[in-house]
Each structure stands twice: as C-alpha cells, then as structure tokens.
Amino acid sequence: MQAIRSILVVVEPQHPEGLALKRAKLIAGVTQSQLHLLVCDKKADHSAWLNDLSSVLNEEGYATSTQQAWHDNPHQTIIAVQQAEGCGLVIKQHVPDNPLKKAILTPDDWKLLRYCPAPVLMVKTESPWTGGNILAAVDVGNADGEHRTLHAGIVSNGYDIAGLAKGTLHVVTAHPTPMLSAADPTFQLKETIEARYREQCRSFQAEYDISDERLHVVEGPADVMIPHIAQQLSAAVTVIGTVARTGISGALIGNTAEVVLDSLESDVLVLKPDDIIAHLEELVAQR
C-alpha cells in the first residue's frame, strides 16, 4: 500500500462529505499519493463542483486531479478511468442494493469487485480507522502457489493499514467441518484440521508479528465466519481476496467476497493475484 502513487476516488456531488474521500485523505496523508477524483455521470456537468473540491483539497496539502466520465455504467466507467490513469487503488462508498433488485440483477459494486484490475476499497461506515482492529481473511486450506501469493498480499496490506491507522492486525481463516468419511485422516477431527490450518499460518505470523491470540482459526463457511469474527472484533477494515477458479467469464470472485460485502459492518478491501490482474487488464484493453 505504501507504493501506491495515485488513488482513484469515486465522488458524488449529492454527497459532498462522502466517506470514500475521507478514507482516501487518510491513506494519501501517509502514502503521499495523488487523488484522482471521478464523478460517474453522463448528464449534468459537475466541473465547477469538482474544481471547488479540488481547490479545497489542494489547500489542505493534497495533490489532486479531477474527471467526469461515463462508459455505459458505473463499474465500466471506474475501470476505464483506473486503467487510463494508472491508479493503484480504487476507493468507493458502498451502497447495498435492495434484496429484490439483487435477486434479479448483479449489483454494480459486485461487478466492480469482479472486473477491476486494481485493489478496491469499499467504504461502508463512518467509524474511524485510528486505533481500530484490522482483519485479514485468508483461505489457507488452499495452499497452492497462487493462493499463497494472495495470502501474503492480504496479510501485507492488512499490516500496512494497521500501521497507518495505528491499529491492531488480526487474521481469520475458516476451516471445514470434520467428516468421518474424509480420505485424509486430518479432516476427520476438528483438532487435527485446526492444527493443520495453524501450521499453514506460521510463516506470515512470524513475518508480520501476529500472535496466536490474534490468529482466529474457526470452523464454518467463510462467508458466515468472516463477518462473525469481524463483528466480534468491531473491525474497522476487513481485507479479503479472490482467485478465479472457472475462468474470467464465470463468477470471477466466487461468492464469498460478494456475500460478505453486504453482511460485513466494516470497510472492505478486495485484492486479486497478479495473473488475474493481468488477464483483467487485457479484457479492459479489448473493449
């Protein structure tokens, strides 16, 4: 996170005191990143408002640029601008869709998480980050190279956020329920499953100084247990990742990140592995 040079901030003239901008200022204050302010609108002209907002931020010591754009829908607009400007992070305020609409249409924020090549920070609350708990969620049951790289990125970004917020980093990983019929004896007993999962966490525990008390190895579905632990800890930010399993055209992100986006009561940072990012960048370039 310290290496981010430019942050794309989705701003809304109808919400001038937007939560996304507050988080962006916090991060830019530490990383010295430029803030690229984007209004997604094809109708009204917001240039005067953007200029005023930029002037205020410049007086506060932030480097800014502004843009109003529209490419078919909000998520495609954001992704097109992120690629054109080379922004290393996208920050957007998340507004949940109503359940009926969500049952019929894929929410636009879910599409942004699926297809945006850059990390996306979805801001959900006004709760201050300072001094709070930061939760990094990893799936150490998948120990292939792609997942290990992603785990390292999740914990590393959680560590960076905890540092800039002067907060405390916790890590959660959810494991399956024991099955007597499992081929591997390890997965027949809760104790042996938990021991294996804890062993998989040793390397990043050592690297990022995460005590056993701040490592939460829990039994149950990840989409249930991640929000449960986040609520227990009153987490300010939850960091999660995604790996494509059935090709980019399918549900790239899998259900976990999309489901927890609405059920978490914290801000959510979503990351992807490098090879997924490269593939998404190719798709964006082809449009």
Percent of the chain with pLDDT over 90: 51
Q: For residues 38 and 207, give the distance between their C-alpha atoms in angstroms, rounded to a whole number.
A: 37
Question: What is the CATH code for 6-93?
Answer: 3.40.50.620
Percent of the chain with pLDDT over 70: 81
Check if the beta carbon of residue 215 is closer than 8 Å to that of residue 205.
yes
Average pLDDT over residues 214-235: 93
Please name the amino acid found at residue 79: I
pTM, two decimals, is 0.88
> Which candidate, 144, 110, 107, places its Cα nearest to that of 243?
144
Q: Any bridge partners for residue 215, and if so which?
A: 171
Res 171 pLDDT > 90: yes
CATH code 3.40.50.12370 region(s) in the chain: 133-286
Which CATH architecture fits 133-286?
3-Layer(aba) Sandwich (3.40)
CATH code 3.40.50.620 region(s) in the chain: 6-93
Res 254 pLDDT > 60: no
Note the pLDDT tens digit of each residue in 83-141.
999 999 999 998 766 666 555 566 788 888 888 889 999 999 999 999 999 999 998 87
What pLDDT score does 40 carry?
95
Average pLDDT over residues 34-54: 95
DSSP line for 94-144: --PPPHHHHHHS--HHHHHHHH-SS-EEEE------TT-EEEEE--TT--S
